[in-house]
Structure 1
């Protein structure tokens, strides 16, 4: 049954990193009036003059119709907002956008994957607190920015409790190569996106250490088991976890070093510290910030998440790769589940 509705005619994309730029290009090519907001004037000027974002997507020509600005006031002319900033910056950006919009009840699709440090809030919860008038949705799934920007076939989940608003988002971002599926399970879509980033770090460590494909496959399977255990306990739907924003995103992110989280783990597996790697990167590996927060939530709920615990320890520098592997391999034997 088709659920697509009339699209939003104008879209404001908050965040000019690789993913924000790719989504802005997607919306512009789909015929939406699209404004890309950049924090820095250097990126904005590059897009204006050269029709390329040299800092984040240097090989992708951007549509001539794509507008770019550093002025948040442009949000007032939008019918919908795509929030594409790092998860730990989401609250402050949402507060600024709310002020810029005059507290408008705008549809906001959250495209950042993570859990807020200090509060343990998921992004839809952050939105409810920072911009209570906004109508929240979540866009998540197996999608590398470069693939989407190049127009390669991609399918994702668009989760929104309000079907009428969610299905308008479907029409807004759908193209011949980008296929969104509607789900009402915002919680499940967010948890799948946040947890897979943590597991991708673990898979990167396995690859960087040269532990073999068998070990990586086992880690992905057991990682999915602990993600499912935690998310179902929080109230997520099992079909969401088995879908694009759950298992689909997990497979992609844990299988390729295009993933910022897997590449972080890969370098850690080769002996570098997480702190040194993160300090020299321009992009953000969300799983590094999410791991300790996710572990804290799991402990509060008495949910076993041994892989998450290992990643949190590795990122903090509290445990070596050898010790983490030994701990995981020496856990008591149990029935699979």
Structure 2
């Protein structure tokens, strides 16, 4: 049994607290506000973010982060990515080097272009940091619906400790040493999911979405490899696995926001209607900047950036993607033509 605190009582933080509690750990759930804490304590339910799911009575609820962090073995960070640095700076004086930090936030920092584990490591360099990622909608994890995820860390020992802490008969956890790849997959699939939602909102079909998801994963992989990731990571749970679920499920707030934009609503209107943090919006800017920094071709990312922040029509963005210069599907394919076909001489 581990003493675990989950910092952040959104849908994902609440679901992880319930999961960890079911797995026999002593769990504390930290809320941003005293008001939020009182509501959850009274109702034993997260009415704002995860309604209909009972929060066990033996999960301690607190809004005092000093109290929350005290004497814990594992600290789970389940805070929206744009708030991670500020909160970690508040937490840092109360986190010691023996505590393992598990980042459960999927995003990139717009100003620095860092992943969340890199942000956390900057603020608390004395701690070992890991990241949890994969196809894991909070609504399903909280209800014990089976899935599989991946934990990554620079330390094999840390990854295995976290794997043991989280793994249940309904929540299978793999380890992967490719921390940058795991985090990029988790962050960038949200941007592609926005695009997938826009495709749905425009009334296009399954063929369109399949093409978008496939080429979207090519772009994610292309950038990841340029940044030092292992391309095989993107074929795994934090890559194609997370991409599939986020682009196809109505649990996905990124897809829901995209649908509204595709139907003609502004970004502001879509975010207001979804009522929760849409990480793909935050990550789109960082993804666009990273494509420029590493000189990586990412046309889908470029178009979604223009739709979100430059007022480009979604229909126009689709036309521009479809009418790009003719390409070979795989960049290295040209040199292999002779292995597969023979050209007719005219």
Aligned to 1:83: 77
Which of 174, 185, 191 is matched with 1:192 structurally?
185
Q: TM-score, normalised by structure 1?
A: 0.95
Residues 1:256 and 1:267: Cα distance change in structure 2 (over 3 Å)? same
RMSD, aligned CA: 1.2
Distance apart, 1:138 and its partner CA: 0.4
Q: Does 1:30 align with 2:20?
A: no
Report the alpha carbon displacement of residue 41 of structure 1 after superposing the two structures with TM. Answer: 1.9
Instruction: State the distance in 1 between where 2:188 and 2:325 align.
Output: 24
Q: Quote how far apart the aligned CAs of 1:277 are.
A: 1.8
Q: 1:179 aligns with which of 164, 172, 179?
A: 172
TM-score (norm 2): 0.93
Partner of 1:54: 47
For residue 266 of structure 2, the aligned residue among 273, 278, 295 is: 273
Please name the residue that 1:3 is paired with. Answer: none
Shift of 1:72: 0.6
Mapped to 2, the partners of 1:142 and 1:85 lie a distance apart of: 18
Instruction: Give the alignment partner of residue 223 of structure 1, picking from 199, 216, 235.
Output: 216
Report the Cα distance in structure 2 between the residues aligned to 1:253 and 1:280, rounded to whole angstroms: 18
Q: Is 2:139–2:251's contact at 8 Å kept on the other side of the alignment?
A: no
Could you tell me which residue of structure 2 aligns to residue 93 of structure 1?
87
After superposition, the C-alpha distances for 1:296-332 in whole angstroms (9 at most, x for unaligned) are 1111111000000111111114311121111101100
Aligned residue in 1 for 2:284: 291
C-alpha contact (below 8 Å) 1:114/1:122 kept by paired residues: yes
What is the CA–CA distance in structure 2 between the aligned matches of 1:11 and 1:139, rounded to whole Å? 15
Contact 2:136 2:147 in 1 (8 A): yes
Listed one character per residue, the Cα deviations across residues 56-108 of structure 1 (whole Å, up to 9, x for unaligned) are 1111011121111001112022100110000011111111111233x544211
Out of 201-210 and 90-99, give the one that drifted further. Answer: 90-99
Structure 1 contact 275–315 (Cα < 8 Å) conserved? no
1:126 aligns with 2:119: yes
Distance 1:324 1:106 in 2: 46
- Distance in structure 2 (CA, Å) of the matches to 1:219 and 1:281: 23
SS at match of 2:304: helix
Q: Does 1:145 align with 2:138?
A: yes
Moved more, 143-152 or 103-112: 103-112
Count of matched residue pairs: 329
Q: Which moved more, 1:14-23 or 1:228-237?
A: 228-237
Structure 1 segment 245-284 matched on structure 2, within 5 A: 245-284=238-277
CA contact (8 A) 2:256 2:274 kept: no
How far does residue 19 in structure 1 lie from its aligned partner after superposition?
A: 0.2
Alignment match, 2:340: none
**Please, which moves more after superposition, 236-245 or 201-210?**
236-245
Larger CA deviation: 280-289 vs 193-202: 280-289
Q: Any idea what the Cα deviations from partners look like across 1:29-77, whole Å, max 9, x if unmatched?
A: 1111000000022221222222111111111011121111001112022
Partner deviation per Cα, 1:145-190 (whole Å, 9 max, x = no partner)? 0100000001001111111111010111111211110111111100
Tell me what 1:234 maps to.
227
Structure 1 Cα separation of the partners of residues 193 and 256 of structure 2? 8
* Shift in Å, 1:336: 0.1
SS of match in other structure, 1:156: strand
1:18 corresponds to which residue? 11
Could you tell me which runs of 5 or more consecutive residues in structure 2 were left unpaired when the two chains were aligned.
331-346
In structure 2, C-alpha distance between the alignment counterparts of 1:188 and 1:89, rounded to whole Å:
22
Name structure 1 gaps, 5 residues minimum: 1-7
Higher Cα radius of gyration: 2
1:43 touches 1:55 (CA, 8 Å); kept in 2?
no
Measured in 2, the distance between the counterparts of 1:156 and 1:332 equals 37
Residue matched to 1:154: 147
